Amino acid sequence: MPIQFHKSSQTFHLYNSQISYIFKVLKNNQLGQLYYGKVIHDRDNFDHLFEAKPRPMAACTFEGDLTFSLEHIKQEYPVYGSGDMRHPAIDILQENGSRILDFKYRDHHIIKGKPKLANLPAAYVENDDEAVTLLITLYDEVIKTELILSYTIYEDLAVICRNSFIRNCSQQKLIINQIMSMSLDLPDQNYEMIELTGAWSRERSVKNRKLEHGIQSIYSLRGCSSNNFNPFIALKRENCNEYDGEVLGFSFVYSGNFLAQVEVDTYNVTRVMMGIHPHCFSWELENNESFQTPEVVMVYSDKGLNAMSQTYHQIYQKRLARGLYRDQVRPILVNNWEGTYFDFDEEKIMKIATTAKKLGIELFVLDDGWFGKRNDDKAGLGDWYPNLEKLPNGISGLGKKITDLKMKFGLWFEPEMVNKDSELYRKHPELTLETPNRNSCHGRNQYVLDFSNPEVVDYVYEMMAKVIEEGKISYIKWDMNRCMSEVYSCVHSPSSQGKVMHEYILGVYRLYEKLISRFPEVLFESCASGGARFDPGMMYYAPQCWTSDDTDAIERLKIQYGTSYVYPISSMGAHVSAIPNHQVFRNAPIETRANVAYFGTFGYELDLNKLSQEEQDKIIEQVKFMKEYREVIQFGTFYRLKSPFEGNETVWMVVSNDLNTAIVGYYRPLQEVNQGFRRIKLLGLDPDKEYHVSINETDHYGDELMNLGLITSDSSCGENREIYNGINGDYLSRLYIIKAK
The catalytic residues are: 479, 549
Q: Is the peptide bond before 520 cis (omega within 30 degrees of 0)?
A: no
Q: Which residues pair with 414 in a beta bridge?
A: none
End-to-end CA, the chain: 42
Q: Closest Cα partner for 512 from 447, 465, 448?
A: 465
Instruction: Using alpha carbons, select from 11, 69, 8 the residue that is nearest to residue 40.
Output: 11
Of 140, 167, 6, nearest to 79 by C-alpha is 140
Single-letter amino acid code for the residue at 739: K
Residue 361 contacts residue 334 (beta carbons within 8 Å): yes
Over its C-alpha atoms, the chain yields an Rg (Å, rounded) of 27
C-beta of residue 509 within 8 angstroms of C-beta of residue 537: yes
Identify which of 14, 30, 249, 38 has the alpha carbon closest to the alpha carbon of residue 151.
Answer: 14
Separation between Cα atoms, residue 712 and residue 699, nearest integer Å: 15
Q: Crossing angle of helices 590-597/613-635, nearest 10°? A: 20
CB 92 within 8 A of CB 283: no
Dist. CA 677–CA 384, nearest whole Å:
58
User: Alpha-carbon torsion 59, 61, 63, 68, what sign?
Assistant: negative
H or E element: which one contains 466?
helix 454-471
Collect all residues with Cβ–Cβ distance below 8 Å to 592 and sequence separation of at least 6.
553, 554, 667, 727, 731, 732, 733
Q: Is the dihedral of CA 111, 113, 114, 115 positive or negative?
A: negative
DSSP characters for 93-146? E-TTS------EEEEEEEEES-PPPTTS-----SSGGGEEEEEEEEEETTTTEE
For the chain, the maximum distance between any two Cα atoms, rounded to a whole number of angstroms, is 87
- Sign for the CA dihedral angle at 12, 14, 15, 18 comes to negative
d(CA 563, CA 572): 8
Task: Return the SS3 of 316.
Answer: helix
User: How wide is the angle at C-alpha 660 spanned by C-alphas 244 and 523, nearest 5°?
Assistant: 85
Question: Who contacts 86 (Cβ-Cβ below 8 Å, separation ≥6)?
Answer: 71, 78, 80, 263, 265, 271
DSSP 329: P
CB 391 within 8 A of CB 409: no
- Report the alpha-carbon distance of residue 134 to residue 145 in Å, rounded: 19
